[in-house]
Amino acid sequence: MLKKKISRLLPVADREAAERHYADIHYTFARDQFLRCTPDVVGYHVNRAIGQFDLNGTFRERPDAWRFVITRWEAREEHTLGFMDERLRNLFYADRPKCIGSVAACDVDERVLADHMTGRQTALAKYLFRYAPEQFGDATSFDDYYDQVHLPRLLDVLRDATGVRLFISNRAQQEAELEHRPDGTMAYTGRYLAPTTYCFEELYFDHEGHADAFFTSAPVLSLLRDSDWGRVLGYHVEEKCGVDRR
């Protein structure tokens, strides 16, 4: 069974050092190990937030997020880290304190709702939106709003939008529980919690110009900024592909 996980990472206090260590060491180690030693990993993509959805519908605000890591794998066991052996897990746990301050890893149900990819794109502009319980209230109210109001209206706008290539809605199913280990590192317990995110949306455009026209349009602003729920947490992200066996 193919599974997908989206992990929200925040850096350690020294953000500059975290950025350097993550980009130069942590990411490259994960990329190479997943490629060489973990054939169950189907996809490993790291999304670095470079701008946040702002009051104007652009992404010029400094992001409060850091990285979103998207992993796809063929599941042989139930837990979110089932594709790693104990040796590899422990290496990751030991390295995290050098760059990663916190992790929230959600198993998600992926739904591709618009796909205009031709197989010939060499570069795309990507945007990621996060729908959080602290903004949208209880899960039942969010589900009703998202399924009955938000998605139909957003898909209607996407249908006629220029330059949009891909829209993926990822509903969070569960979030992996973490615990402190005696050595000061954090490890997954094998148990799950109620997710701290209801949904992640991924939107890809041919370039930033088409994205700007889309996100600053009145119909989109009415959904992402001007609804009763307020401005949604959204990010312009730089996506790096570590592994893609799809």
Torsion angles phi and psi, residue 213, rounded to 5: -65, -35
pLDDT in tens, 114-172: 999 988 888 999 999 999 999 999 999 999 999 999 999 999 999 999 999 999 999 99
Segment 25-45 shows an average pLDDT of: 95
pLDDT bin (cut points 50, 70, 90) of residue 29 is very high
Q: How high does pLDDT run on average in the chain?
A: 94
Structure confidence at residue 210 (pLDDT): 98
Asked if the model's pLDDT at residue 78 lies above 70, the reply is no
CATH architecture for segment(s) 2-244: 2-Layer Sandwich (3.30)
| Average pLDDT rounded to a whole number, residues 41-64 | 98
Q: What residue segments make up the domains of the chain, in order of their start?
A: 2-244
Could you write out the DSSP letters of every residue in 177-241? EEEE-TTS-EEEEEEEE--S-SEEEEEEESSHHHHHHHHTSHHHHHHHTSSTT-S-EEEEEEEEE
Least confident of 63-67, 102-106, 183-187, 217-221: 183-187
Query: Taking the complete model, does pTM exceed 0.85, yes or no?
Result: yes
pLDDT at 30: 96
When pLDDT is cut at 50, 70 and 90, the band that residue 101 belongs to is very high
210: which 2 tokens?
A: 């088409």
Using alpha carbons only, give the angle 139, 100, 85 rounded to the nearest 5 degrees: 85
Question: Strands 41-52 and 67-74, how do they pair?
Answer: antiparallel
Residue 34: closest CA among 66, 54, 5, 62: 5
The C-alpha atoms of residue 131 and residue 124 are separated, in whole angstroms, by 23
Would you state the pLDDT for residue 98?
95
Picking from 81, 61, 90, 64, the residue whose alpha carbon sits closest to that of residue 8 is 64
Among residues 24, 130, 112, 113, which one has the least CA distance to residue 72?
A: 112
Q: Say what the pLDDT of residue 80 is.
A: 60
User: What's the pLDDT tens digit per position in 164-202?
Assistant: 999 999 999 999 998 888 887 888 888 999 999 999 999
Pairing type for strands 67-74 and 164-180 reads unpaired
pLDDT score, position 37? 85
**With the C-alpha atoms ordered 232, 237, 243, 246, is the resulting torsion angle positive or negative?**
positive
pLDDT band at 83 (very low <50, low <70, confident <90, very high): confident
- Per-residue pLDDT tens for 216-230? 999 999 999 999 999
**Please, which residues bridge with residue 6 across strands?**
70, 106
Q: Does the pLDDT value for residue 208 go beyond 80? A: yes
On the question of pLDDT at 77 being above 80, the answer is no
State the pLDDT at residue 128. Answer: 99
What pLDDT, on the 0 to 100 scale, is given for residue 81? 59
Residue 79 has pLDDT above 70, yes or no: no
